Structure 1
Amino acid sequence: MSEIIPIDQEQHPLSRIFFGPFGLRAGWSLLIALILFLALMWGFSSALRITHLVPAHTVEHTPGPLSVFLSEATAFLAIAIVTVIMSRVEHRPLAVYGLGGSRKASRMLYGVVTGLIAISLLVFILLNSGLLIIDQRLLFGSEVARYLLLWIPGFLAIGLFEEYLFRGYLQYTLARGLSGVAPLLPGDPDPRTVGFWIAAVVVSFGFGAVHGSNPGESPAGLICAGAASLVFCFSLWRTGSLWWAIGLHAAWDYGQSVLFGVSDSGALFDHRLLQTHPVGAPLLSGGATGPEGSIFCLIPLLLLVAVIHLSQRRPEESYALQMPALSHQLETTAETLPPASTPTS
């Protein structure tokens, strides 16, 4: 990321409410981005409903491959447009918000493979513990290949949207704002590290809370969703990009919903390969939440942390190195700001 030139501090005092030494303050940036995102989402969702491309979701009707793809793709388009606008407003390269970096395709493919292995391991544990039972196959013949392929775009769109929404502009801007906490902590910590990980905890809490609106979600499921979000943040920190997390997120959800036919945070999809049901205490089996509601979900999540640590170390592309302004901001603010008693024009 290129250096951000401090703005002129000799300005009207009211301007400092909106602008800091490095441009528009993070809180105002997030507020503007939120308003833009909600407006775009309202417009896109209204267009999809009016054209009947996405039917209303009811108990009797669950979304199919096309409606899932359209809903998630337009949602991703909305956050992508907002990110482009805000990057230009703030004069920051678009790549710093997570979709930059090298080896995009290979990183995402690696994430897909890792995600399929991780969810398969979790389902294997539940099956062999007697906590999950496979009832029957639901797809046969040509329908197997047809729906396994038809569902892929929708789940890729889910991975793109959710990762870019939570760990794109939101994560970066929160980290930028929260880097100011560093001087309050002992040991002179790096503001980039402090800002990133406080923001990661806030974002992960929000990621888990959003899942609370899903039918059948449980407290254990919300905790596991938040823990998974922290794993995604760790991959972002190590690689400087979201591509590995996008692939893993998409494959994890695809494996649950399509291949194994289990609930995904309480939601079941039609045209899945298998029909299953949980057995035993929900804390162990996941209950109506699905495998993400089981405490055994923590096993693959911990293994994923180890995988990231061992295989995704790219210091030249780490997230910290994309945020040089945060490390310099606290060092230069005292020099660029005039003393409190100095009158300004």
Structure 2
Amino acid sequence: MIPPISAFPFAAAQGRTRASSLGRSALYIVLVLVCGLLVSALSGILPEKTVHPTVETSLIAAAVSASLFLLCFVVFPTRIMLRLFRDPPEQAGWQPANAPQLLFLGISAGFVAITLFATVLWSEGAVRWTPAIPTLRQVVSEGLLSAVFWLCVAASEEGLNRGYAFVQLVRAFSFWPAALIDCGIVMLEHATYHEETAAGILGAGLFGLVLVYSFLQTGSLWFALGLHASWKFAQNFIFGFASRDATETPSLLMCQLSDNPLLTGGSAGPEGSILILPVTVLLMALVHGLGLRLKPHASERVIIMKQADACQARFMNEQVFPDPGT
């Protein structure tokens, strides 16, 4: 059984603390841009993955690039901000409590969701698969490299979109306005993709809503990381569906879609299918139920929130008056 959430990162900010939260969010973005220059320089000395003679070597380069991206865009800026302001890991979304359990649950949910999507397409005759990777060695080696690649990609996107900067936005504006901003940014990012569809943009926003809601319900990004990584891994490596994130990664199966992009998603991938709506509803229900099991009783949550506020206030030199009733 998973123990209940022990802390919540979304303590509300007031007055000058709200302005400080906005400033911290902006400073984090500046650090990301600075570190982005570093990762660009490092990527420049790596061989281009498209010129390699084998897919496996190309995957190694892709995994290394994704790891550098994660380090320079998420790990380093987050670590600097936490040390600079002496914030706990909860303020970046990486609360250590329940991490293994939530990561496992997220991975399981992602696999089940994309498998249900593929099963419905198959039952409707909208997709047909043929084997793409012939040898066991290729399955193992390329599967492991693909798993590393997609885990790094998912961790990078979660840290950038829903990490430290997002928590500070929540503290400044409250959760749902910040969540809508986050989903809007994700949709704008997808709108810049070549030949992206309106359905794909909307589907990306819905999937992002599931991920950000899981943060609210579980108190950390670990479930979102597992869900995001396993969805992308299974979508690309197992089922061979189209993906805007990496068109050159290998897959176990080659899929042939019917001429019904509204159902299959077409070039936009699963996010562009009308099936993303029921999948999103199921995932939201799952996340909501998980949150009900994880969150403590209301009285305990009040105490936890006040403890979090008091801890934050010490670092912000604010005075917090505890409720005499507690």
Which TM-score band applies after superposition, normalised by the shorter structure?
Answer: 0.7 to 0.9
Among residues 209, 215, 225, which one is paired with 1:230 in the alignment?
Answer: 209
Partner in structure 1 of residue 81 of structure 2: 86
How far apart are 1:224 and its partner, in Å? 0.9
Partner in structure 1 of residue 244 of structure 2: 265
Q: Report the secondary structure of 1:295's partner residue.
A: coil
Partner in structure 1 of residue 235 of structure 2: 256
Distance 1:175 1:251 in 2: 27
Q: Report the secondary structure of 2:26's partner residue.
A: helix
How far apart are 1:277 and its partner, in Å? 2.6
Do 2:18 and 2:171's aligned partners in 1 also have CA atoms closer than 8 Å? no
Q: How does 1:281-300 map to 2 (within 5 A)?
A: 281-300=260-279
Partner in structure 1 of residue 181 of structure 2: 202
Distance 2:273 2:33 in 1: 33
Among residues 58, 65, 69, which one is paired with 1:75 in the alignment?
Answer: 69
Change (3 A) 1:247 1:254: same
Q: RMSD of aligned C-alpha atoms?
A: 3.2
Q: Residue type of the partner of 1:35?
A: V
Q: Deviations over 1:258-314 (max 9, x none)?
A: 000110237433421111132123222211111211011112211111111223332
Distance 2:54 2:142 in 1: 17
Q: Residue type of the partner of 1:150?
A: L
Change (3 A) 1:266 1:176: closer
Q: Deviations over 1:9-64 (max 9, x none)?
A: xxxxxxxxxx95338623322222112101111211211212x24x1669x99993
Structure 1 vs Structure 2: percent identity of aligned residues?
27
Do 2:25 and 2:165's aligned partners in 1 also have CA atoms closer than 8 Å? yes
Range 215-224 or range 248-257, more displaced: 215-224
Among residues 89, 99, 104, which one is paired with 1:104 in the alignment?
Answer: 99
Among residues 40, 43, 59, which one is paired with 2:38 in the alignment?
Answer: 43
How far apart are 1:165 and its partner, in Å? 1.0
Do 2:8 and 2:90's aligned partners in 1 also have CA atoms closer than 8 Å? no
Among residues 26, 33, 58, which one is paired with 1:64 in the alignment?
Answer: 58
Q: Report the secondary structure of 1:64's partner residue.
A: helix
Among residues 168, 173, 179, which one is paired with 2:168 in the alignment?
Answer: 173
Q: Report the secondary structure of 2:158's partner residue.
A: helix
TM-score with structure 2 setting the length? 0.80
Distance 1:238 1:321 in 2: 15
Q: How does 1:16-35 map to 2 (within 5 A)?
A: 21-22=16-17, 25-35=20-30
Range 304-313 or range 24-33, more displaced: 24-33
Q: Report the secondary structure of 2:230's partner residue.
A: helix
Distance 1:2 1:89 in 2: 21
Say how many residue pairs are matched.
295
Distance 1:238 1:174 in 2: 17
When Rg is computed on C-alpha atoms for both structures, the one with the higher figure is 1
TM-score with structure 1 setting the length? 0.76
Q: Does 1:301 align with 2:287?
A: no
Structure 2 unmatched ranges of 5 or more: 1-6, 314-318, 321-326
Structure 1 unmatched ranges of 5 or more: 4-18, 179-194, 330-334, 337-345
Do 1:109 and 1:247's aligned partners in 2 also have CA atoms closer than 8 Å? yes
Distance 1:72 1:321 in 2: 36
Distance 1:123 1:216 in 2: 23
Q: Residue type of the partner of 2:216?
A: W
Among residues 89, 104, 129, which one is paired with 2:124 in the alignment?
Answer: 129
Q: How does 1:134-149 map to 2 (within 5 A)?
A: 134=129, 136-142=130-136, 143-149=138-144
Do 2:29 and 2:165's aligned partners in 1 also have CA atoms closer than 8 Å? no
Distance 1:220 1:28 in 2: 35
Q: Report the secondary structure of 2:255's partner residue.
A: strand
Q: Residue type of the partner of 1:245?
A: A
Distance 2:246 2:192 in 1: 11
How far apart are 1:91 and its partner, in Å? 3.5
Do 1:83 and 1:169's aligned partners in 2 also have CA atoms closer than 8 Å? yes
Distance 2:277 2:151 in 1: 23
Q: Residue type of the partner of 1:72?
A: A
Distance 1:75 1:251 in 2: 19
How far apart are 1:167 and its partner, in Å? 0.8
